[in-house]
Structure 1
Amino acid sequence: MVGSYRLSLELFSLLIGSLIAYQAVDATARIAASRTPLHRGIWYGVGAWMLGLGLWSVHFVGMLARLPQAVGTFDPLLSVASGLAALAVGLGLLWVADCPTLGRARWLAGSLALGIGVAFVHMASEGALNLGGGTRYKPTVWLGWVVLCTFGVACGLRLMHGFRPRAKARRMGLRALLSVPMGLLICVLLDLSTRLSYAGQPMLSPEDSPGTIWLGSVVSLVAVLSMGAALIVSELVTRLYIRTQRLSGSLDTLNHQLHHLATHDPLTGLPNRHLLAERMERALARARAGHGHLAVLYIDLDGFKTINDTLGHGFGDELLRAVAARLASVLHPDSLARMGGDEFVAVLEHMRSPESALRIAQQLIALMQDSFAVRGTELSVTPSIGLAFYPHDGDSVEDLIAHADAAMYDAKDGGRNGYRCYDASMRERAVRVLKIQRGLQTAVEDGSLSLHFQPKHHGDTGALVGAEALLRWCHPELGAVSPLEFIGVAERSGQIARLGEWVIREACRQLRDWRDRGLSTVRIAINLSPMQIQQPGLVEVAAGIVGEAGLHTSQIMFEVTESMAMRDAERTTAILRDFRAHGFDFAIDDFGTGYSSLAYLQKFQVRQLKIDQFFVQALDEGGHEPRAIIAAIIELAHTLGMEVVAEGVETHAQAEVLRALGCDQVQGYLLARPMPAAEFERHCLSGDFALA
């Protein structure tokens, strides 16, 4: 072949080819990064337009750069056909490359189909220029075109798909660098196609076709400017889109975090009560469909409150996290939830039989026997577990959890560190507890509470020296409820502080009433529960109530049990010191049943020791040991400057022994039972009892 190329048009063709290559890989990456069908559709349209325009332009300008003869009459219909074919090829390129894995079959079949399309674009572009002669329509020429175009498309598809996973890391520089050799490859393939079509025919020199350079330059300039402008707009839109995606991603992350906070316990990371209910509903649906047995385990930690109160909430929180992790090592985290405090619930499903749940409960109990290391301190907590089964014990989330909770409390009543399965009797107790809890909420206002007073007498003369105030409650439906029952419910439900404050206020009101009516007044002893003594500001509240009543704090004595005082002896010492600073006296109740040490008894500096009635009643057995123990307690107390009170005196023999041993005060059924204020006033304040 002789003649010369039009170098300017050749360079334009190379530029357009490079832009095509860049747009191909860039559009594919943007489609992969799109998160909605609308965005994908937009990028498919923009990408197909850019690739189609570029493909048509590179063929048109490339042929003008190496024409074998002068351009004839321009055919607009063939030009439009070649343009539409180019758009279809561009869309096909994007569709074939837009897949997670470009398999060999998809790659080869797509390359062949699109290669045929590119060959048609080439043929239609030549026809649009109305070039006469040549062998471009011979089958061998067609086959050659298809082979060359298929090879070029195959290379392009691999490049486009290779950049698809890098949608977020756009790597513009690398794409631009690879676009140049791809553009050169397009120009080489176009040149080979042209030479194949006009084999043996000489190329025109520039002067042979004066309008060719002008026409090619205009088309090239329009194509380059159009694609360049589209590229710039595309970049701006992409930056805006990426920023929007980042903001959207941030919102998605924030929404995910908010949802996690709303459905998970912030301390342990376990699901909370709300998420547990949702998962239990789904588990119940599977169980109803026959996918195995379902059980609910309600787990409560024994002794956790003592650790939390004595070592602080920081220790308690770390212990709860450690317990949750240990439980999750046996139970699937999705089936375990924290209900609050030291209570956890596990949902077991897909079990072959209910016995599977019992084995898991036993496994959990064995697992919890090992201590936990928290901040270098060995801490031990054991579980009390209640079990309820679907459908035997309930067919709803609420019933199963409530019944498992009732079984857990039965396990605690049975000695703790064990498990119980729910039965109907527990339901009755659970209903009773619920009625008690609800009744306590209005007990202060509705007048159902009252104080009874049991007198305390001088051990030698029998003179009235004081009284113990005992809380009584008459439930509007259940009738009289024992303090042993409702005090425990009040502590678990957090109502004990309110009840305790009412007792102090009512005792002071009664003392002031007796004083105002000229009756003899006595010191009133008031019992404090373990939760009350830990209540912040209790001393100030009590002192304020006494002051409002116009009384002196010495007229009120508080009592705590020996076991409660020794639970955290150092803290008890500090609390008692605070009470003494306000003028209150203290007594250690049920002495002899705990594990007091002489050192702490001296630190406590209480006014009285109250001998537990177990030792007093043992005096009737006639053995030497009860008398010796009581004598030792009395001698110890007197040595430490304390008074001794004997509880539960029911016989004259007991009273005589206590008098002989020098017991300071006695109280019990022998002298008087607890009685309402009016009866106490009538029998005790009008004249003293005397011991027989």
Structure 2
Amino acid sequence: MQSTYNLGLVVVSLAVATLASYTALDLAARISTMTAARTRQLWLAAGAAAMGTGIWSMHFIGMLAFSLPIPVGYDFTITGYSLAIAMIVSYFAIVQVARPVLSITRLIAGGVLMGFGIAGMHYTGMAAMQMHPGIHYRTGIFVASIAIAIAVSMAALWIAHALIDSSQQRVLSKRVGAACVMGAAIAGMHYTGMAAADFLPGSVCGAARGVDSQWLATTIILLTVAIMVVTLILSRFDARATALTGSVSSLNSQIVRLANYDLLTDLPNRRTLTERIERAIELSETNGGGFALMFMDLDGFKTINDSLGHVFGDEVLKTFARHLRQCVRNSDTVARLGGDEFVVLVDNLAAPHEAADLAEAVLERMRSGINVENQTLQVMPSIGIAMYPQDGSSVDELLKHADAAMYEAKRGGRSTYRFFEAHMNEAAMRTLKIQSALHEAIGKGYFVLHFQPKFHGGSGEIVGAEALIRLNHPEIGALAPLDFVPIAERSGQIVQIGYWVVRETCLQIRRWEAAGLPSMKVAINLSPRQMNQPELPTKIREIVEKEGVDCGQIMFEITESVAMQDAAKTTEMIREFQASGFEISIDDFGTGYSSLAYLQRFRVKQLKIDRFFTNGLDAEGPEGGAIVQAIIALAHSLGMDVVAEGVETASQFDKLKTLECDEMQGFLLGKPLTADAFSELMRKHLTTA
């Protein structure tokens, strides 16, 4: 019996097969990302229904495109069976593709089963025509159609699994291309199967009902396209909703992490540490036992930060944090409070010596150095230890006492550890009071300058003075520089205090001049923190010029150890001072590690012999005198004046005079005086001159 095809419906069947293939690719990628079992099963069922309907529709439209010279129809029940087969095959295919791994064995087995399923759908659909006599199939083409179905199934499974990752480049265009290939292959299998069918002359279709095939084809096409388009739209909306939910969840996790962990080192922050200490207190109260807090601060970290930069300093902190975690037990908590402050919560301690052993292990590990950007540095902490319950019953109390013990370790020589003791708390409270006093000292006039006179080594005349700051607080009392300058240095307050000293010195110089006293050169000490301020020379020059004082009347003293921390930077700063007309003196000479090459490069006005060598003139005999003589000779050969400080005995004075020391200062000659007392001293020297 002669058969024909409606070319338009053939093209439509190919388009439906392509759309069904694209739907399968999209759904497989979507389902592969789902983790919730219930949601995954719902989408598997919906995907199988949409994909199965698409494949079946392609088949059915292809059947409707086929016409015989007799009325043709399709049994509703048998047609329903073919649709069910298509959906079952689709479910199986999506499950296979959505697996993380598609092995060769699984690919072959899946392709064979799926191929037989598609062939079964096709030939069940053919059986729905209920032809009498039955359809005769050509064996060769029949077998070829099944082989094509298996090959198409295997290719479809492989392509779909290869494109399952939506993060691939140009994944959309790849899926469209793959869908076209798969659609053509599926249509090819269908029409191969149709070519295998022979309808004998005189055959009658038992399922003919007189339903218009064009109307039926249009209905199926519209319904199928609608189902697949809606499925794709819902898949896209669900994917966007899931992505948004994931983004919100990820953002929320990041916010929680930022709130609980240090951004730089990824260690627990103060908040998390507080919670864990509170938990440790509760457990200790319930189960007995105790724990320790080890509070540590890196010695000399500011020097690293200032000399090598903050970026390098951050790398030092991260590297130190990693090494610190390696030193403690897994049950311990290592936290960063900020800056270079770290705390270790050591749980379940049987005795204090266990905390001491751990502290010693940390120090020993750090003594071997850490490698940062191919540089080996020895970054040592000072460690303070507070024990629960003997050193405190609350988080704040334990942290405060561990901090106090850490400062005691710094005062005890640094790079060591100390257990908290009651007297440390008093020292810590005094430190806090002094720090608070420093904040308000300039505004409330608690600072005052004293001036220690310098005398000419030959004539004994006053040739200058050294400005020395004092703090007179209404509650704390009078404080010497040794009591508050180190605190101001650590807190950074020394910078503003230093500017106040320069301004007040200039004001006093003008007062002396207004009183008719001789022009006096005053020396001012510069601290390490001040030397790290790049704008220091410029700001000081602005202050001096604003106060109307000649820069030549101010001399700045830099200790030898500070000058040599970064000799190149010191040389540059000295040049800036000298360009403005200031003079520079190297203080405490002989106690550091000066390079003679840098000493020559500095080209300073003065060297100040440290009081240690001045005392050696009496204590060390000829050897002490030989060292001082060598320093004076060295300075004079470099065109520098020499000032001896700490002159306290007549024998020291006589020996220095014999050695031709240029200037002297010390308690023998004159103690630090208030500005008014210094004025009176100058007047006496004027009247006796």
Q: Per the shorter chain, which TM-score range?
A: 0.7 to 0.9
Indicate yes or no: 2:512 matched with 1:514: yes
Q: Is the 8 A contact 1:32 1:165 kept in 2?
A: no
Indicate which of 659, 665, 668 corresponds to 1:667: 665
| Alpha-carbon distance between aligned partners in 1 of 2:404 and 2:429, rounded to the nearest angstrom | 9
Indicate yes or no: 2:226 matched with 1:229: yes
Using the TM superposition, give the Cα deviation of residue 560 of structure 1 relative to its aligned residue in structure 2, in angstroms. Answer: 1.7
Using the TM superposition, give the Cα deviation of residue 507 of structure 1 relative to its aligned residue in structure 2, in angstroms. Answer: 0.8
Using the TM superposition, give the Cα deviation of residue 509 of structure 1 relative to its aligned residue in structure 2, in angstroms. Answer: 0.6
TM-score, length-normalised on structure 2? 0.73
| Alpha-carbon distance between aligned partners in 2 of 1:481 and 1:83, rounded to the nearest angstrom | 100
Aligned position for 2:496: 498
Aligned position for 1:602: 600
Of the structure 1 ranges 32-41 and 301-310, higher mean CA displacement relative to structure 2 is found in 32-41
Provide Cα deviations, 1:130-163, integer angstroms capped at 9, x if missing partner. x9xxxxxxxxxxxxxxxxxxxx9xx99x989x96
- Which residue identity lines up with residue 270 of structure 1 in the other structure? T
Of the structure 1 ranges 462-471 and 385-394, higher mean CA displacement relative to structure 2 is found in 385-394
Indicate which of 153, 164, 167 corresponds to 1:166: 164
- Which residue identity lines up with residue 487 of structure 1 in the other structure? V
State the superposition RMSD in angstroms: 5.7
- Which residue identity lines up with residue 301 of structure 2 in the other structure? F
Q: 1:219-258 alignment to 2 at 5 Å?
A: 219-236=216-233, 238-239=235-236
Q: Is the 8 A contact 1:454 1:667 kept in 2?
A: yes
| Alpha-carbon distance between aligned partners in 2 of 1:611 and 1:503, rounded to the nearest angstrom | 23
Aligned position for 1:116: none
- Which residue identity lines up with residue 265 of structure 2 in the other structure? L
| Alpha-carbon distance between aligned partners in 1 of 2:245 and 2:393, rounded to the nearest angstrom | 42
- Which residue identity lines up with residue 30 of structure 1 in the other structure? R
Aligned position for 1:584: 582
| Alpha-carbon distance between aligned partners in 2 of 1:265 and 1:375, rounded to the nearest angstrom | 22
| Alpha-carbon distance between aligned partners in 1 of 2:3 and 2:388, rounded to the nearest angstrom | 87
| Alpha-carbon distance between aligned partners in 2 of 1:293 and 1:4, rounded to the nearest angstrom | 97
Aligned position for 1:30: 30
Indicate which of 521, 524, 535 corresponds to 2:522: 524
Indicate which of 297, 302, 327 corresponds to 1:300: 297
Query: How many residues in Structure 1 have an aligned counterpart in Structure 2?
Result: 648
Report SS of the residue matched to 2:211.
helix
Using the TM superposition, give the Cα deviation of residue 101 of structure 1 relative to its aligned residue in structure 2, in angstroms. Answer: 9.6
Distance 1:571 1:24, change over 3 A: closer
Provide Cα deviations, 1:631-652, integer angstroms capped at 9, x if missing partner. 3333333333332222222233
Provide Cα deviations, 1:54-101, integer angstroms capped at 9, x if missing partner. 7998999999999xxx999x99xx99x999999999999999999989
Using the TM superposition, give the Cα deviation of residue 584 of structure 1 relative to its aligned residue in structure 2, in angstroms. Answer: 1.3
Indicate yes or no: 2:272 matched with 1:279: yes
Q: 1:23-62 alignment to 2 at 5 Å?
A: 27=27, 29-33=29-33, 47=47, 50=50
Q: Is the 8 A contact 1:525 1:559 kept in 2?
A: yes
Using the TM superposition, give the Cα deviation of residue 488 of structure 1 relative to its aligned residue in structure 2, in angstroms. Answer: 0.9
Aligned position for 1:479: 477
Aligned position for 2:361: 363
Q: Is the 8 A contact 2:25 2:164 kept in 1?
A: no
Using the TM superposition, give the Cα deviation of residue 495 of structure 1 relative to its aligned residue in structure 2, in angstroms. Answer: 0.9
Report SS of the residue matched to 2:679.
helix
Q: 1:175-214 alignment to 2 at 5 Å?
A: 207=204, 211-212=208-209, 214=211
Distance 1:686 1:20, change over 3 A: closer
Question: Which consecutive unaligned segments of at least 5 residues does structure 2 have?
Answer: 102-123, 131-149, 194-198
Using the TM superposition, give the Cα deviation of residue 455 of structure 1 relative to its aligned residue in structure 2, in angstroms. Answer: 1.6
Aligned position for 1:454: 452
Q: Is the 8 A contact 1:13 1:187 kept in 2?
A: no
- Which residue identity lines up with residue 278 of structure 1 in the other structure? R
Distance 1:377 1:637, change over 3 A: same
Aligned residues: percent identity? 41
TM-score, length-normalised on structure 1? 0.73
Using the TM superposition, give the Cα deviation of residue 448 of structure 1 relative to its aligned residue in structure 2, in angstroms. Answer: 0.6
Q: 1:370-389 alignment to 2 at 5 Å?
A: 370-372=368-370, 378-389=376-387
Using the TM superposition, give the Cα deviation of residue 687 of structure 1 relative to its aligned residue in structure 2, in angstroms. Answer: 0.6
Provide Cα deviations, 1:407-431, integer angstroms capped at 9, x if missing partner. 2222222112222233333222222
Q: Is the 8 A contact 2:295 2:385 kept in 1?
A: yes
Provide Cα deviations, 1:589-646, integer angstroms capped at 9, x if missing partner. 2223223344333332222222222233344447322233223333333333332222
Q: Is the 8 A contact 1:34 1:40 kept in 2?
A: yes
- Which residue identity lines up with residue 652 of structure 1 in the other structure? A
Using the TM superposition, give the Cα deviation of residue 28 of structure 1 relative to its aligned residue in structure 2, in angstroms. Answer: 5.9
Distance 1:229 1:242, change over 3 A: same
Indicate yes or no: 2:338 matched with 1:345: no
Distance 1:175 1:283, change over 3 A: farther
Aligned position for 1:465: 463
| Alpha-carbon distance between aligned partners in 2 of 1:593 and 1:301, rounded to the nearest angstrom | 24
| Alpha-carbon distance between aligned partners in 1 of 2:341 and 2:203, rounded to the nearest angstrom | 89
| Alpha-carbon distance between aligned partners in 1 of 2:446 and 2:30, rounded to the nearest angstrom | 75
Distance 1:558 1:14, change over 3 A: closer
Aligned position for 1:142: none
Indicate which of 432, 435, 442 corresponds to 1:434: 432
Distance 1:174 1:350, change over 3 A: farther
- Which residue identity lines up with residue 574 of structure 1 in the other structure? E
- Which residue identity lines up with residue 478 of structure 1 in the other structure? I
Report SS of the residue matched to 2:667.
coil
| Alpha-carbon distance between aligned partners in 2 of 1:311 and 1:93, rounded to the nearest angstrom | 63
- Which residue identity lines up with residue 524 of structure 2 in the other structure? I
Indicate yes or no: 2:324 matched with 1:327: yes
Aligned position for 1:120: none
| Alpha-carbon distance between aligned partners in 1 of 2:542 and 2:581, rounded to the nearest angstrom | 12
| Alpha-carbon distance between aligned partners in 2 of 1:95 and 1:282, rounded to the nearest angstrom | 48
Indicate which of 542, 545, 549 corresponds to 2:543: 545
| Alpha-carbon distance between aligned partners in 1 of 2:59 and 2:586, rounded to the nearest angstrom | 105
Q: Is the 8 A contact 1:647 1:666 kept in 2?
A: yes
Report SS of the residue matched to 2:463.
strand
Q: Is the 8 A contact 1:509 1:549 kept in 2?
A: yes
Of the structure 1 ranges 275-284 and 410-419, higher mean CA displacement relative to structure 2 is found in 275-284
Distance 1:349 1:215, change over 3 A: farther
Report SS of the residue matched to 1:567.
coil
